[in-house]
Amino acid sequence: MATAATALRIRRASLHTQSIAFICVLLVLGFAVLYPIALLLINSFVVSRPLEETQYGLAGWHYALNDPGILQSLWNTIAVMVVQQTISFPIAIFIAWLLARTNIPWGRGLEFLFWVAFFLPTLAVVQGWVLLLHPSAGLLNTYLMKLPFIDGPVFNIYSFWGIVFAHLFTNSIAIKVMILTPAFRNMDAALEDASRISGANPLRTLVRVTVPVMTPALIVMLMLAVIRAFQSIEIELVLGLPWGFFVFGSKIFDLTKTEPPLFGPATALAVLVLVATLPLIWYQRWASTRRGYTTISSRYQAQNLRLNRWRWPAFAMILGLALMVTVVPFILLVMGTFMNLYGFFDVPSGVWTTRWWGAVIGDPVFIRSMKNTLLLALGSASGAVVFMSLVAYFIVRGRSRFRAAMDFLTWMPYALPGIIIALAWLWIFLRTPFLQPLHGSIWSLMIVTVLSSLTLGVQILKANLYQMGAEIEEASRIAGAGWAPTFWKIVVPLLMPSILVVWIISFVSAAGSAIVPALLATPASRPLALLQLEHVLSGQNEAASVVGVLVVLMTVGVALVARIFGLRIGLGRVA
């Protein structure tokens, strides 16, 4: 009797501790997500400068709704998005189908190359392509213009189609292949077999059977692509700014960097983006929780199509594309670090030099930025996995009626492009007295970086928690362990492979992104990615390429080390 009473007291104490932890996590999450949005909306009506007495008006909204440049940036955003998605979707679907549903050689290795492409920092890849496709000094144009029948540059990366090309060969194709390949791999082959028995060839089966079955996943991916279009900024800053081409993200950045900064119009634009993307987030969450379609059933069978004589040509095609999005731009970037004048191959004093490496590595600004990057990436990744693990656990295992609200809050940051999250938190650090000391510090960058990667990390951990039975946790509690020991000693070790994946993604995102630091960092807290962006925008491409190579080695090195030690990177393997 006493033993039962003791067990009951322990269980009640455990539930009490869990409830307190849930409330604390929900309050922190609600503050981190809702307060910036509320402040963003309020400050869209502020017409005074930061640190001045607050004055309200409609000047920011009038500017945002009537300036022709802003309307043009909206059209540019839509145009780039439509063109790149029209091109990337068919290519990614075909590649994912080949990798997952055929006997193509080295399929897992080819899939991993697209993960490497995802880990490559955008700025570094774009710089590599500039060296090849610069209109006047690009390597490819230089050699083509030596031909007698070519008078001028054939390719110009500083153009609309150059921007589209940069999107396709940075992450637009890679991220779709990453997500679609596991989905294709897990799909039941029964319908495809029935189609082939009926006389359809493999290509017809792909178009008429496989793709329609995958339609829900493709629609969700399209919604995510639309949201990502409003997040784009780095490519357009590098390739669009020289000829006055702006998209929504780069326009917001430009407004905040004018003198004086036009925070009112920039904030009004941010609110418009939020209003436009929130319905997409709602649809994404609704579609991801539906149970109205299945690709794996109790009769599940996975069979690979034999490509026969097309096996090696298909392998060569995918390998060529994978190398184009990974190895080729990196080699070009490394070449740029050893050039006297970036992109010019006819310099009288000589083309090649090592002086830029010495100049960059010996620069105190670089050393400080390297330290900041390590602190930012390590701190953000470590803090992210702790907070995301708790959030995912409470959503899946919690018993509160507010679990759905917590789940919805985790989707909200994806509706906010990184530049808007940074702008919202800039207002918080400027307008909230007890947070003002954090303004411009590494801590401020960590907070916003964790928030930016919240959605993806929580979804990965949730997927694995759904696959874990609750019996082990119940056994731990029956044995007398409270909620906290059970979580840290039972749940966390079982989640460790997924936690490592989330840690790596968070580390790479923090080390390689220049979007968040662009508005929040100061010279004392500037990371390497922002230093590289500043070098590019000021025309110091040689120094920028050195910084870019080091950022690539840091980010991709983490992924490769994880691969060497047997960590299987891929949403399909942890989900």
Q: Using CA atoms, how far apart are residues 533 and 513, in angstroms rounded to an integer?
A: 10
| pLDDT tens readout for residues 274-306 | 777 777 667 666 665 554 444 444 444 455 677
Domain at 8-43+354-575: CATH architecture: Orthogonal Bundle (1.10)
Integer-rounded Cα Rg, in Å, for the chain is 25
- Asked if residue 261 has pLDDT above 50, the reply is yes
| pLDDT tens readout for residues 444-483 | 899 888 888 888 888 878 877 776 666 666 676 666 666 7
Give CA angle at 506 (497, 422), nearest 5°.
155
CB proximity list for 290: less than 8 A, separation 6 or greater? 216
pLDDT at 293 (0 to 100): 42
Q: Using CA atoms, how far apart are residues 293 and 481, in angstroms rounded to an integer?
A: 39
| pLDDT tens readout for residues 320-373 | 999 999 999 999 999 989 988 887 777 777 788 889 999 899 899 999 999 999
- Which helix (H) or strand (E) covers residue 88, if one does? helix 68-101
pTM of the entire structure? 0.80
Q: 3-state class of 195 per DSSP?
A: helix
Q: Give the residue extent of every domain in the chain.
A: 8-43+354-575, 67-292+312-338
Average pLDDT of every residue of the chain: 80
What number of other Cβ atoms are within 10 A of residue 218's Cβ?
Answer: 19
Q: Using CA atoms, how far apart are residues 336 and 156, in angstroms rounded to an integer?
A: 18
215-236: average pLDDT: 73
Q: Which residue has the higher pLDDT, 565 or 73?
A: 73
| pLDDT tens readout for residues 528-573 | 999 998 888 888 888 999 999 999 998 888 767 765 654 444 444 4
Q: Which long-range contacts (CB under 8 A, 24 or more apart) does 327-332 make?
A: 328/128, 329/120, 329/124, 329/125, 329/127, 329/128, 329/129, 329/169, 330/120, 330/124, 330/125, 330/128, 330/549, 330/552, 331/128, 332/128, 332/129, 332/131, 332/132, 332/139
Identify the CATH number of the domain defined by range 67-292+312-338: 1.10.3720.10
Structure-token pair, residue 369: 């930025």
Q: Which of the residue ranges 75-79, 413-417, 534-538 would you say has the lowest mean pLDDT? A: 413-417
pLDDT at 2 (0 to 100): 47
94-122: average pLDDT: 86
Q: Using CA atoms, how far apart are residues 483 and 10, in angstroms rounded to an integer?
A: 9
| pLDDT tens readout for residues 21-68 | 888 888 999 888 888 888 878 878 877 766 667 778 888 788 877 888
Integer CA distances (angstroms), 355 to 205, 334, 337, in order? 57, 14, 9
Q: Which long-range contacts (CB under 8 A, 24 or more apart) does 86-91 make?
A: 87/164, 87/168, 88/167, 88/168, 88/172, 88/173, 88/176, 89/176, 89/218, 89/222, 91/173, 91/321
- Write out the DSSP string of 442-455: HHHHHHHHHHHTHH
User: Nearest-CA neighbor of 491 among 394, 403, 404?
Assistant: 394
